[in-house]
Amino acid sequence: MKHFKVTSVLLAAVMCVTMVMVPVAADETETPSETQTTEVADEKDTEESEESEENKPEVTEDSPLEADDQNEALDAVLAKGKCGKKVKWSLDKKGTLKITGKGAMYNFVCKESAPYEYYSTAPWIKYASKIKKVVVSKKVTTLGAFSFYKCSNLSSVSLPKKMKAINDGAFAFCSKLTKITLPKKLTVINEGVFYDTGLTSVVIPKGVKSICFYAFAGCDKLKSVSIPGTVKSIGVSSFGGCSSLTTITIPASVKEIGDTAFSYCTNLKTVKIPISGLNTLGYSVFENCTALSTFEMPLSVTYVGEYIFNNCTSLSKVVISERQSEVGVFFANTFSGCKCSFDTTKYLIIGDYIHVGPVTYRITNPAINGTGTVDVYAINDSAESVVIPPVVEAEGVKYKVTTISGSISQFNVDLKLKSLVIGSNVTSIGANAFSNCQYLESVTGGSGLKTIGTKAFANCPNLKVFNISSKTLKKIGAFAFSKDTALTTLQLKNTTKLTKASVKNALKESSVKTVKVKKSKVKKYKKFFKTKNCGKKVKVQK
């Protein structure tokens, strides 16, 4: 923690000049004057008496309070005042600070009283060490910047569920604050909000999009963090010096991790990041994470800063792709102070094969920018029934099956395939893909199909059923069903995108007599499937 105790001086300096990330109206950002902070012993005016009803004991005819009891109840309120345009505060002698009213609190300034000594201008600052509990009423929408800065004995905080913002440094240096439930309406974890607190765990609400710099830095008791799938960026030093943190899971939504984000997390052993999603790793992100032993670099990462793994003395293996190795994503000093080896064999790249059941898939996109893609490369010659799924998975990566290549029958001339169901992500079937499939009887599915290649199903003498559900089919290649003697009807009932040119010679040398299409397309498609275009007379009907 020595590193982050030194850094805290820099943070405080930054806080003094960095103002709030969540905008509020101009009159709400003013720091209240000294006259806005009042002590009960000095308060006598009628207006303040009316406004502090919630701090007085209720007096009724059934339960009258004696004069001494009333004075004792009043004495229980140590101080009170205004902390927002429509927000007030009161502190009792037990150490409970109540924030009441509605709307946003003022933002308070972090000031320097002596070299490297800082304090907040919050109106309760002189009572900071007495504050043990904070209770915020449900209509307060924003906690002001540096509200509870250095409230060293604060251990309990109750925030309204609909609070929209907690501004910069609000709980910084609250060393006894070990837990807090964050409001569900938050969209940002602002700068230095929980810097050097005693938090042991934190659940960041769904809806938060960014974790700003130094948000949890120096929280050396923090053991677990839950980051939701809405977060897109993790800021500079946001978890720096969290020396009790052992595991961190980064969701696929995160595109950028800022400089030194997890530096000096000396017990961090496991970093889980999806293979695709993350694009940028900043300078010294994992510097001095001395317990980290392995790291799998996401395929989607295209930029890394210098010294990312500087002095990660336990790091022995880093998994990277051949592409990342070849294009020089890393600097010479990325792994300074490490003695690690590199594994470039785990990640699949373009041209690699995936074997799932009777089907061999070939990678066409290695998931650099999200879900990868594959084509159907081969089918086991003994498989009689095959369903091409929309997605296949390998090594933790999901790949869309977008194409059926033209190589299937070329390399499997003895295919026993009888039934083929085409997945919804397949957009094209290559030329000659299933030509000469002697046993093929049925082809169905293909709701996303756009193109059927030349001679794709030629010379399939037992093909009887061809029922494609696609609404997007735009082209059927020439001689696609040539010599398919058992095929008399094409079922294309959803197809609306065909043109005369896109079906030219499609049914030549075939036995197709009827093409069934959508009722609204019957008249138009009759012109396409004419004798001149198909080499034979073909009926078009609904």
**Residue 411's pLDDT band (cuts 50, 70, 90):** low
Residue 110 CA neighbour count, 13 Å, CB half: 31
Residue 356 CA neighbour count, 13 Å, CB half: 21
**389 and 514 fall within a common domain:** yes
Residue 278 CA neighbour count, 13 Å, CB half: 22
Domain CATH code at residue 361: 3.80.10.10
In a domain, 430, yes or no: yes
In a domain, 265, yes or no: no
Which tokens sit at 161? 């569920």
**237 and 361 fall within a common domain:** no
Q: Return the higher-pLDDT residue of 48 and 537.
A: 537
Tell me, rounded to whole angstroms, the distance of Cα 147 from its chain centroid: 30
In a domain, 279, yes or no: no
Mean pLDDT of 367-376: 78
**238 and 363 fall within a common domain:** no
Q: 56 pLDDT exceeds 50?
A: no
Cβ within 8 Å of residue 146, ≥6 positions away: 15, 107, 108, 109, 110, 120, 121, 122, 168, 169, 170, 172
CA 124/CA 37 separation, integer angstroms? 8
Domain boundary residue, one of 245, 272, 292:
245
**Residue 275's pLDDT band (cuts 50, 70, 90):** confident
Per-residue pLDDT tens over the stretch 57-83: 333 333 333 444 444 454 588 999 999
Cβ within 8 Å of residue 66, ≥6 positions away: none
Pairing mode, if any, of strands 372-379 and 359-365? antiparallel
Q: 33 pLDDT exceeds 80?
A: no
DSSP string covering 127-192, please?
A: GGGG--EEEE-TTEEEEPTTTTTT-TT--EEE--TT--EE-TTTTTT-TT----PPPTT--EE-TT
Mean pLDDT of 353-374: 84
Which tokens sit at 69? 């009891």
pLDDT of residue 28: 42
Domain boundary residue, one of 223, 245, 267:
245
Residue 168 CA neighbour count, 13 Å, CB half: 23
Q: Are 212 and 234 in contact (CB under 8 A)?
A: no
Domain boundary residue, one of 198, 225, 245:
245
In a domain, 330, yes or no: no
Which tokens sit at 486? 């058992």
In a domain, 440, yes or no: yes
Per-residue pLDDT tens over the stretch 437-452: 999 999 999 999 999 9
**Average pLDDT value for the chain:** 84
**Residue 212's pLDDT band (cuts 50, 70, 90):** very high
**241 and 357 fall within a common domain:** no
Per-residue pLDDT tens over the stretch 119-140: 899 999 999 999 999 999 999 9
Domain extent for 496: 353-541
In a domain, 284, yes or no: no
Q: In sequence order, what are the beta bridge partners of 143?
A: 166
DSSP string covering 43-73, please?
A: ---HHHHHHTGGGSPP--SSSPPPHHHHHHH
Q: Return the higher-pLDDT residue of 368 and 80.
A: 80
In a domain, 95, yes or no: yes
pLDDT of residue 413: 64
Q: 156 pLDDT exceeds 90?
A: yes
CA 146/CA 96 separation, integer angstroms? 18
In a domain, 186, yes or no: yes
DSSP string covering 488-515, please?
A: -EEEETT-----TGGGTTTTTT----EE
**Residue 350's pLDDT band (cuts 50, 70, 90):** confident
* Number of domains observed in the structure of the chain: 2
DSSP string covering 416-476, please?
A: ---EEEE-TT--EE-TTTTTT-TT--EEEE-TT--EE-TTTTTT-TT--EEEE--S---EE
**69 and 203 fall within a common domain:** yes
